[in-house]
Amino acid sequence: MDAYDLISRNADELVTEEEVRDLAADPEGKRAYVGYEPSGVLHIGHMLTANKLIDLQEAGFEVVILLADVHAYLNDKGTFEEIRDTAERMKEQFIAYGLDEENTEFRFGSEFQMDDDYVLDLHSLELETTLNRASRAMSEIQSGESTKVSQAVYPLMQALDIEYLDLDLAIGGMEQRKVHMLARDTLPSIGYDAPTCIHTPLIADLGSGEGKMSSSKGVTISMEDSTEDIEDKVNSAFCPPTRDPEGDLENPVLQIFEYHVFPRFQQVVVERPDKYGGNLEYDDYHSLEDDLESGELHPADAKSALSSYLDDLIAPGREKIQQAE
């Protein structure tokens, strides 16, 4: 797979495709990042963007993970001491999940976000941005029902982080799109380049196929889950045998296969007794999806295989958590 295919696979949006192709033409030494609030254990949302970072490392990029302690504080996620303790544990989990430690740079926001130049640039962005625009940018990721002033500043800091971390590419889930568009609109107004961005999909709610899977409500999958937890959650997941003709619902089981399993395993084997046709082997996601649609692959067998592969991905991070306790 060439650099462009690695960089762009399983992305919902490239902003812009031309800019991404330019980066793919010479990726060595280029820097890409994702920012994460250190607000808890790694869950499937973190893992999806981490898969994209692994793709980028394979393509030749240097990867930066911003452990956004100041952002987490502004979003009311605890004291700095609590946030820093969580961040240190998350660092180990990211490496356990599969990121190349030698090519992964971890940074804390507090290392540079208190500096005079950063603060003055932040004030310059504030002068360029209406409160309504900042609130809209934060609407997909804020906690609580009403926006606080601290949360309105949050997306402006995300924009500025891209410049101060000397990045070539910003990665985020689709819930980050409004923040990245704000960055592209406002950074040039204070003399910086508009960032190139890649947006990854959101996994649908595990139980219904609606909306997005969330660690704050409903059922999610995390590195704290035991083998039994994963099996129970996946077995109860929404997995219709045919596609939704209206297009309103997603199949989270298929989404996890597409965005988590196939990027990390060259082949997926669905084990079945001989009396039910024996094992099925898949070298690509679409073959598995087609077999589910045709009835060749039963949802229960798909779920059983998914539980096993997810457990393989999560086990190293789960062991890190257990060792730390």
- The yes-or-no verdict on residue 216 having pLDDT over 70 is no
**Pair 80, 132 in one domain:** yes
Same domain, 259 and 144: no
Both 189 and 249 in one domain: the answer is no
> Amino acid letter at 275?
K
151 carries a ligand binding annotation: no
- Domain C-terminal end among 134, 165, 200: 200
Q: Are residues 146 and 250 in the same domain?
A: no
- Asked if the structure places residue 17 within a domain, the reply is yes
Question: 127 or 320: whose pLDDT is higher?
Answer: 127
Q: Are 209 and 249 in contact (CB under 8 A)?
A: yes
Based on the domain organization, do 251 and 108 belong to the same domain? no
Residue 108 lies in a domain: yes
Residue 158 in marked binding region: yes
Known binding residue 154? Answer is yes
Is 57 annotated among the ligand-binding residues? no
The CATH number given to whatever domain includes residue 108 is 3.40.50.620
> Which amino acid does the sequence have at 191?
G
Domain boundary among 147, 181, 200: 200
Domain that holds residue 261: 227-324
214 within a domain of the structure (yes/no): no
What is the tens place of the pLDDT at every residue in 143-185? Answer: 556 778 888 899 999 999 999 999 999 999 999 999 999 999 9
Do 180 and 257 sit in the same domain of this protein?
no
Q: Based on the structure, what is the number of domains in the chain? A: 2
3-state secondary structure of 205: coil
Q: Are residues 8 and 144 in the same domain?
A: yes
Q: pLDDT (tens digit, 9 = 90+) per residue, 60-104?
A: 999 999 999 999 998 888 999 999 999 999 999 999 999 999 999
The pairing of strands 280-282 and 13-15 is unpaired
pTM of the model: 0.92
